[in-house]
A and B are shown apart, each in its own frame.
Chain A
Amino acid sequence: MRHDTDNRTTAHVTVDGLSFGYTASPVVRDVSLTVEEGEYVGIIGPNGSGKSTLLQLVLGLHEPDRGDVRLFGHPSRAFVERERVGYVAQDVTENTTEMPITVAEVVLMGRFPHAGFGRIETADRDRAREALQTVGIEHLADRRITKLSGGQRQRAYIARALASEAELLVLDEPTVGVDAESVAAFFDLLDDLNDDGMTILLVEHDIGAVLEHTDRVLCLNREVYFDGPPDEFVETDALERAYGTDLRRQPEASAP
């Protein structure tokens, strides 16, 4: 099911001169980055720095104002091989508080792009079960997803991405509302997946976790302040500049 037709040298994510603004002031300004196969990239930045927006642009959920965003070499707005991308957001179950749906049903959604209008086959169910095994919550398959803890639920969404046979995993602050112990286990799981070849693009508020686990740090506050390995990042003043300018700007922004 891997897509070998694609040129091996094609990067998973290519962002070039990207700008995007909800209103007049840009949320993302002239951002360029490339994520190659197998990389583990952590994006950090203060609140409102455009981290989540950047992810949504990468996923093709918004039309960029300027610049170019590509997934696997294709413009992401028109990208069709959607099963290659897995997406884990902040815990979404607030909106679906009491929706009756089991973990197994949610994970099986990862097979939907493969099935299209066709039937879900036994092979699809097997894949979903394997994915649940990989993330270690197979025993919760028949629970309602709303009855799980935050950490278990995020594992279920990872399993959905695995069931989809995703090659790129995009996570938007996945550990919000997850207890500390589960957070550690969650990052271990991401490490394991990355070791097995999964490309990971992670937005995370916990700077320490990003420095500890990722191969590459992207420090963002509307524009890119730093892009490189964690050990180089701690030696620069990018963190202070990115977070500091935000602090100085805040009184201005709240004025009229």
Chain B
Amino acid sequence: MTLETRMARAAILARLRQSRPEFDEALSAPESPLPVTRLSAAELNDSEALLARFRAEVERLSVTFQHVPDSESALDALLAVARAQSAQSALLWQNLPIYGVQEALQSVGVQPIVPQVGDAARHDIYRAWNDVPLGISGVDAAFATTGTLVLATDSGQGRLPSLLPPTHVALLPRQKLFPRLEDWLLTYGAQTLMRSRSVVFITGPSRTGDIEMQIILGVHGPKRLHIIVFD
């Protein structure tokens, strides 16, 4: 395997170097790329307007949006979701943007399950987490014009809480809201991608339109996405 793929590498690269396609148009990278989505002056200058845009975008995608004044009320909102789902357990990040989540969940009878360092190598454990009804994560960044959340892996931030359970609650500190995907990518994209092995942009719940183009939510990932924004 090794020899054949090394020879293939050399041969392919040699062919690619031997000739280069020419195109009669300017191809140099733009100094500052044209942004894709439109943003009103109000959305650019006023954080209320920006949050309103984010809210409108995620609600279009059947996401439940809640804006609360502080982290204590964010915790209350989170517990209310757990109660509404009658959750007995929850899969969550170690690194959440609000304190005391694990203790609070326990106090209302929800068992917190926090994937730990070392669990990555134990793939059989994932099966035991399959029936957990609720996943809880923080958010590394959010984009207003597309209604997108960014979740990047780190020691206390795994992939599974936002992937396995049918309901995903994302705790979003308001200062993580950016106007557009392109703004964030140009400023923080490269460093985040170099740091985290997995970065996911989540725009609404899991969906499919494969059968007669009828949109169905929750085909593989979460069916319900609940975003709690707090100041």
| Chain A bound to chain B | no
